[in-house]
Amino acid sequence: MSAQSPLHVRILIVGGGAGGLSVAARLRRSHEQGIVVVEPSDVNYYQPAWSLVGAGIMPVSSTVKPEAQVMPRGVSWVRSAVTHVDPHRREVSLANGDRITYEALVLAAGIELHWDGLPGLAEAMTTDRVSSNYSFDYAEKTWSILRRITSGTVVFSRASGLVKCPSAAQKIMYLAADHWRKKGCLDKIRIVFVTPGPRIYDKDEFSDVLGTVAADYGIEVRVRTELQSIDSENQTVTITDLDKDESEVLHYDAAHIVPPQSAPAWIADSGLSDPEVAGGWVKADGSTLQHPDFPEIFSLGDNAGTMNGKTASAVRDQAPVVAANVRAVLGGSQPQAQYGGYAGCPITIGDHKVFLTEADYTGNYAPKIPFRTAKPRRSMWLLKRFGLAPLYWYGMLRGRA
């Protein structure tokens, strides 16, 4: 490639994570040719396991593989980052100065974490009191902090707006509480959960169960509250009541923080997002995942503007829809495959039990497993601990699951 003469490809996929590689693999299994994946990272992460890493249950090394090892055969990999998309010219600009034109474009660029989006957070992350399982670089640090706590106040927070796996803020909280109970020091630890939502979980049925779990651990659930800032020097956080517009300063001995998040900035800069919706997510028809203004563009995963949970299970349901609809559009047909909005999340609540939340666009309970999963089960723990990672590496990324 050169800056003067762009490379032309049939299918361009931006992002070599769960969404991008799942679609690429499915397209190759359908004998599609001319597929290029643009991905700057040389590694691929299984992010759902980072809660287990943060609880000392899994080594972080088991959650990463070389990108070259998981790239589908027959797919070309361009190791660079996208800086702009011109949807009218069907052209993508890369950080290395190259350009690529496409017949179909799939956006699976993931999500950006803004460590500087909360005053004091970037500085706090350098201390030995604050961590976050939202990063490969910090997941092991979480365990190093939580395992030495035997008394004091520990704050767990969820950020406002759409974030990837929003339940991750709670998963580590329950795992930590279970650890402290087993050590016999839970009654000496004040656990505070800060969430901007009106209840502990977005949907009533799941909220009732998790509310009971939190009460059993003695967790203070602060609904309709938001973390405003962190003062790591004095070990305090400022929490604002969103209804009363009142603030409180709370001392912490440890904290697990979910940083503010958004889609990559170039999506909005390229005119591909809805300016009326915060976060810069790719505009998409909720069913076909097709861009309403540019029919040759599809999106899935964390960067997609679907109003459901941003989870790996959502990607698993979205990938076959995108792959089928890309093929339809390239063949001159209208997209027919539809995504129902399914998103599931296994929430580890301790004592080797997992509570699996499953819902679709309607907000109703939408189980895929033929027995009731909306209750804590040990069988779900086995699936979470030993089954889901192989499903990701050898099923999803190979277009088989």
Share of the chain above pLDDT 90, in %: 85
Q: Which of 197-206, 237-246, 382-391 is the least confident region?
A: 197-206
pLDDT of 2 reads: 45
pLDDT of 395 reads: 96
pLDDT, tens digit (0-9, with 9 covering 90-100), for 352-368: 899 888 889 988 888 88
Q: Of residues 353 and 123, which shows the higher confidence score?
A: 123
Structural domain contains residue 336: yes
Residues 118 and 107 in one domain: no
pLDDT, tens digit (0-9, with 9 covering 90-100), for 233-274: 999 999 999 999 999 999 999 999 999 999 999 999 999 999
Average pLDDT over residues 369-377: 67
Structural domain contains residue 368: no
pLDDT of 1 reads: 45
Structural domain contains residue 17: yes
Which of the listed residues 260, 278, 300 is the one where a domain comes to its end?
260
Give the Cα separation of 238 and 248 in Å (integer). Answer: 6
Structural domain contains residue 176: yes
Structural domain contains residue 333: yes
- The residue among 52, 62, 146, 125 whose CA lies nearest residue 349 is 52
Residues 99 and 141 in one domain: no
pLDDT, tens digit (0-9, with 9 covering 90-100), for 309-351: 899 999 999 999 999 999 999 999 999 999 999 999 999 998 8
pLDDT of 374 reads: 62
> How do 43-45 and 64-66 pair as beta strands?
antiparallel
Residues 197 and 129 in one domain: yes
Average model confidence (pLDDT) across the chain: 94
pLDDT-derived band of residue 303, with 50, 70 and 90 as boundaries? very high
Structural domain contains residue 375: no
Residues 253 and 160 in one domain: yes
Question: Is residue 185 among the annotated active site residues?
Answer: no
pLDDT of 355 reads: 86
Residues 35 and 99 in one domain: yes
Which of the listed residues 225, 260, 295 is the one where a domain comes to its end?
260
Q: Of residues 18 and 374, which shows the higher confidence score?
A: 18
Q: Please state the pTM of the whole predicted model.
A: 0.94
Average pLDDT over residues 64-71: 98
Out of 82, 105, 159, 165, the active site residue is 165
pLDDT at 3 over 60: no
pLDDT at 370 over 80: no
Average pLDDT over residues 59-71: 97
Total of domains in the chain: 2
pLDDT at 398 over 90: yes
Residues 219 and 157 in one domain: yes
CATH number at residue 21: 3.50.50.60
pLDDT at 4 over 90: no
Average pLDDT over residues 214-235: 98
Q: Of residues 376 and 298, which shows the higher confidence score?
A: 298
Torsion sign over Cα 264, 269, 274, 279: positive
| Cβ-contact 285, 274 below 8 angstroms | no
Residues 118 and 256 in one domain: yes
Number of Cβ atoms within 10 Å of the Cβ of 262: 22
pLDDT of 64 reads: 98
Residues 221 and 296 in one domain: no
Out of 38, 71, 329, 345, the active site residue is 345
| Parent domain of 38 | 7-111+263-341+393-398
Residues 195 and 297 in one domain: no
pLDDT at 203 over 60: yes
pLDDT of 377 reads: 83
| Cβ-contact 263, 109 below 8 angstroms | yes
